Structure 1
Amino acid sequence: MADQKSDSKADAKAAKAAAKAEAREARGKRAEERSGGGVKAGVSTLRTRVAQVVWLVFVVAALFLAVGALLIALDANRDNGLVKFILDGANTVDLGIFSRNNGIKDFTGNNADVKNALFNWGIGAIVWLVVGRVLERIIRP
């Protein structure tokens, strides 16, 4: 009977020690989850943020080109500050390749300015979006 009591006490101590070890392990896992899983998670988070910023920059460039083409097509007042800002921004992000005046395609005749803006800046906006998405996918983990 004495052996049974000592065995019961030993089993109880072992069970208690196992419970403490499980509790410590659970606390360690929770702390690791809160900290982001270490360096690997930190790098992953950084790459995700950089990818988001890259995508945002490319979308803004495409928006400048698209809105600029729309403003040219609608014959917006070019003396207006906002219109001037958007057209200047579009001229900057067209990189000379998609220029309204000397772009991929140069229309002549009636409404050539509108056609040039819609075609060249439209193609430029699409290129900005495609390149931006490709870079975003390369950068993102």
Structure 2
Amino acid sequence: MGIMDSIGSEMKTRNFSIYGQWTGIIAIILCVAVGIANIFHLNLIIIFSVICLITGLVLIFLEIPFLLRICPTSPKFDTFMRKFHSLWGRAAFYGVASLVQWLSCIVQATSLIAAAILLMLAGMFYALAAIKGQQFVGSKTLGGQGVAQMIV
């Protein structure tokens, strides 16, 4: 069974937390990319691009729980990350991150809108999972449920 087969079987579970996690993975890539691309503006967009870049880096540790086990992190950072291990916590984090990127449109419409949309979509998936009472199911491809339980 390859990675694509594993991802395909996970998508068939109809668990919105899996959809949120994979949307979050795409958001990581997009946040880092548009954060770097927009950092060269000569106005307030620089602030929003740095926030987007930091959001992408924090999301790496949120969505890939294996990294919290292998990367040296501080106890403060670990405590901060534990706040977002519930579905509502993740939905709130993505919602706030999306709102910040939407606010960048006040200054200037840039590619940060794509990050705002994707972050909003991931937050909606996590909120739907919480509303439906679904349990968080971590992708086996990204470290699985066992690693996530060891961290919490």
TM-score (normalised: structure 1): 0.30
> Which has the larger Rg?
1
TM-score (normalised: structure 2): 0.29
